[in-house]
Every structure is written in C-alpha cells, then in structure tokens.
Amino acid sequence: MTRRWPALWLACFTALGSSAHAAEPAAESAAERAAHPATTPPPPFAWESSEPLIRPPAGADQLFGVKDPSIVFHDNRYHVFFTTAGAGGWGLAYTSFADWKDAPQAPIFMLDKSPIGPGYRAAPQVFYFAPQKLWYLIYQGGDPMYSTTTNVADPRSWTAPKPFYAAVPDNVKDDKGQAGWLDFWIICDERKCHLFFTNDNGSFFRAETSIEQFPRGFSTPVVAMKERREDLFEASNTYRIEGSGQYLTLVEAMRADGRYFRAWLADRLDGEWRPIPGSDMNLFAGASNVKFKGRVWSEGVSHGEMVRAGIDQTLTIDPCKPLQFLYQGLDMVPGKKYEYIELPYRLGLITATGRNAISDLCKR
C-alpha cells in the first residue's frame, strides 16, 4: 500500500540475521503429488527469492522506491505496473520485458505522461475484462479509480481516471469522517465482479456489481473479515485457483521481522474465508520462510501480486506449477533513517519450493 499522507512504520522493519541458500525450485511430479493425498496436512510454504529485479532508473535521483506491483503475461511479455515514491509524491509507472533476466534493464515509463495524468496515484491492479474487450487499470487516487485501454503494451493509451463511487460510503469512513479505504482489488466470477479492499485497521471489505453493469453499480461495502489491525493490515489480493473450485486471498500483516502475507481459502468470493492450513498464523510468505541465493536484501515480504495463469478478470492461478509472487522488498542501508516516502523499496520475485496447500489442489 502507498499512503498519500506521511507516516512512519519503521518499527515494523528489523534487519534479518544472515544470508541463506535454497535448492532450485521445481514443480512436483504427478507421482510425488500422489504420494501426498489431500488428507495429508500440507507442509508450510517455502520460497526462494530473486535479487531486486525492478528499481528506480539510474540517474532518477528524485525517485526513492518502486512499490505495489501488478503483473500480467501477454503476447510473450511481462507487463508490470507499479507505484513510484519520489520527492514529488506518489505516482504510477510501467515496464515490460520478455524474460525475468531482462527486467533490470527494461525501460520504465511514467504514467503521468499518459492521460492518467499527474497527482496522487498508487497501488495499481491490471487485468483484461473479456466481456468488454478492454484492459482495466485499477488504482487509488484517494478513492478507487480506473482507466482503460485496448492495448496494454502502449502506456500512453490509458484513459483519464474515473471513480467507481460517486461518494465515499459512510461505513468506510473513520471517526473523523475521513475515507479509510485503500489497496483496491477487483476479481470476477461468472455472474459478478467483486471489489476488495482494506482499511489499515483490521477490516477486509467486499463490494459487488454484476458483470453486465461493471464498472458501475458497486454495492455498499460489507466487512468480509475482521481481525487485529496488525494481523489484517493492507495489500489484499485474491485469485481463482484453477480446477479446484476454490479462491485464495492474501492479506499483508505486520510483526517484528517485517511485513508478511497471510492466506485464506473460500468456496465463493462472497463466502466465508477460512485460514489456509500448514503453518502458524496461516503464513503465506515472509522473512521466516523465504530464502535467498545471495544476500538477504529484503526485510519481509510486502505488497505484491501472483504471476497469473491468464490475463482476464477471473485472476486465475495454476496450482500445478510453482507459485510465483512479485513483491516489494525493503532494501535499507543499516543504520540509516528514512521518512516513509523515502523507504528504498525494490521489486523482487519469490518462487515456491516444494509441496504446499495450493499445490495440493492440483488435479492434473
């Protein structure tokens, strides 16, 4: 998440102790999956992280960090949208590359040069809405906003921002009457599109509209989950798990060793979310289960997105392949003090290693 107001959350971030190494990630074979029937409790998630893949361009002295990535693979290229944090505030940017090894050298386009325009823009999400044959970019401009294009590879083609709501719903306002919603996320099933978001205070909200009405007609949000503020904080992202009849939701939380993600499963997007089995606090990814080939460059695992199996509004992931998650990692200089907007976030990729609760849902 990227706030429009200054804040200091550095107490959440503590340096990790030492470097670690892990074996190369590999997909589990059908025989190996058969040896672990669904009745066998899954082991905890385990991940291996890349080095930083996307960072502020060389010479961009006024940019401090890159955050909040959203990613699709289309026409044999990865298309990545993300937040920039700089001396001028928060904005959106885009980059594209054919292979992960090319990501560090890929040019970055600042989306304030498109009709999206300058001003506060943050926390993007991108998907192709097949019923309209349009790409949608969802982001926070204070309130939830969207732009569209017919060509995701042309960053200048996005339309000017439009709001989803004419006014802020009363039930997402705080005690002072200010909007308390952020990190907007849309996923659709066969009949409805669902808007999820958090409020940095332990509430996970959901609203809905019909496929036919989208992007208009969203209902008054309801609380889908409620926990302690630090245990259900921000940056939610939700996916359909191919072939399983299940949905996965990830929400960022906080603890002493940095930000981390927790995971829940549900049978329906408007159903009850239950903690994913396998580890304490339904841990998905964080400092305790991510290993690095080289230096431990990231303190925790923060706002990110899964690499999806497709591009459309169902946000489908394939449980039969090793999960990959593009995340923002905090690469701080030890002993240096930062204002919130100055935090040196970089984007890296974690890849799941071994069996886990999602790979156990593979039917192939």
Model confidence at 38, pLDDT cuts 50, 70, 90, reads: low
Q: Measured at the alpha carbon of residue 82, what is the angle toward residues 326 and 116, in degrees to the nearest 5?
A: 155
Residues 109-159 pLDDT 10s: 999 999 999 999 999 999 999 999 999 999 999 999 999 999 999 999 999
Distances (CA, A) of 171 to 13, 144, 197, 206, 252: 31, 15, 13, 12, 22
Residues 73-85 pLDDT 10s: 999 999 999 999 9
Predicted local distance difference test score (pLDDT) of residue 178? 87
For residue 108, what are its two tokens? 């970055």
**What is the number of alpha carbons within 13 Å of residue 154 lying toward its C-beta?**
10
Q: How far apart are CA 307 and CA 38, in angstroms?
A: 24
> Residue 300 carries which DSSP code?
B
Asked if residue 138 belongs to a domain, the reply is yes
Per cent of the chain over pLDDT 90 is 82
Asked if residue 2 belongs to a domain, the reply is no
Model confidence at 60, pLDDT cuts 50, 70, 90, reads: confident
> Residue 328 carries which DSSP code?
E
Asked if residue 4 belongs to a domain, the reply is no
DSSP-assigned states of every residue in 13-64 = ----------PPP-PPPHHHHHTS-TTSPPPPP-EEEPSP-B-PPTT-TTEE
Domain total in the chain: 1
The neighbouring-strand residues paired with 135 are 128, 149
Mean pLDDT, rounded, for 246-267? 97
Any residues with CB less than 8 A from the CB of 202 and at least 6 apart, and which?
226, 227, 228, 229, 231, 232, 233
Token pair 């408007």 in the structure block, residue: 270
Asked if residue 353 belongs to a domain, the reply is yes
Model confidence at 1, pLDDT cuts 50, 70, 90, reads: low
Predicted local distance difference test score (pLDDT) of residue 66? 98
Asked if residue 5 belongs to a domain, the reply is no
- State the residue range of the domain holding 319: 10-361
Mean pLDDT, rounded, for 87-94? 96
Asked if residue 3 belongs to a domain, the reply is no
Any residues with CB less than 8 A from the CB of 177 and at least 6 apart, and which?
none
Distance, C-alpha 221 to centroid of its chain = 20
23-27, 42-46, 158-162: segment of lowest average pLDDT: 23-27
16-20, 268-272, 286-290: segment of lowest average pLDDT: 16-20
The neighbouring-strand residues paired with 173 are 179
Residues 197-218 pLDDT 10s: 999 999 999 999 999 999 999 9
Q: Could you tell me whether strands 47-49 and 290-292 are parallel, antiparallel, or unpaired per DSSP bridges?
A: parallel
Q: What does pTM read for this prediction?
A: 0.90
Any residues with CB less than 8 A from the CB of 321 and at least 6 apart, and which?
27, 309
Nearest to 192 by CA among 268, 125, 267: 268
The 3-state DSSP class for residue 112 equals helix
The 3-state DSSP class for residue 137 equals strand
Asked if residue 220 belongs to a domain, the reply is yes
CATH code, domain carrying 292: 2.115.10.20
The neighbouring-strand residues paired with 222 are 206
Asked if residue 54 belongs to a domain, the reply is yes
Q: How far apart are CA 136 and CA 124, in angstroms?
A: 10
Check if the beta carbon of residue 316 is closer than 8 Å to that of residue 335: no
